[in-house]
Amino acid sequence: MSALSELTKGGTVLPITRWGTPVMHARTRPVTEFGEELHQLVRDMFATMYAAEGVGLAATQVGVDLAVFVFDCPDDDNVRHLGVVCNPVVTLPEGKDRMLDAADEGCLSLPGAYMELARPDTATCRGVDAFGNPIEVTGNGLLARCLQHETDHLNGTVFGDRLAGRARKKLYSIHEKAAETYPPDWPVSPRT
């Protein structure tokens, strides 16, 4: 079993932090230690992401102000990509190479609400893995969206910040209607 796959097992499901909590709207600290404390956080993040049926999860979404995210996400060719990125930096296409993909986007920290958001259709994310080794992930489709969305979280940006005022207001309204089905400690406690 690979070192990465070991980190996808044995975690504890944690409550997902909601938008409005200060940690969700502030820049995170860089990861500088790559030992067991980080590895347990990563295990817990994978467990939480899987329990919530998400494709990516940033440390801020479990209340930790550390620059790390996990993902298990398909690309446009339905190829599954699994990983951990610490201290991520996303590079997006520019000029004639920049094509936008408008698709519904949601966030586990604002459960039950989705809104169309245009993002570049490809993205490259560079950083280091959970062991401090350089890593580069390039993706298209949902994977490109995931890499951008999770890196945004670590910079204190939620995807609602990228929406126009009217769309943001509608997003919050959709969330309010769905919120009662998500317990405060979701996904520790299941939806009702």
Sheet holding 56-58, edge to edge: 56-58, 68-74, 80-91, 122-128, 134-140
User: Alpha-carbon Rg of the chain, whole angstroms?
Assistant: 16
94 classed as catalytic: no
Q: Which of 19, 111, 28, 124 is nearest to 69 (CA)?
A: 28
CB crowding 85-105: b at 16 or more within 10 Å, else e: bbbbebeeeeeeeeeebeeeb
Say how far residue 34 (Cα) sits from the centre of its chain: 20
Could you tell me the sign of the dihedral formed by the alpha carbons of 63, 69, 72, 78, in that order?
Answer: positive
Structure tokens at 165: 């005022």
Angle in degrees, CA 158, 162, 165, rounded to 5: 110
The one catalytic residue in 36, 94, 150, 180 is: 150
CA distance 70 to 65: 14
Q: Which positions are catalytic?
A: 150
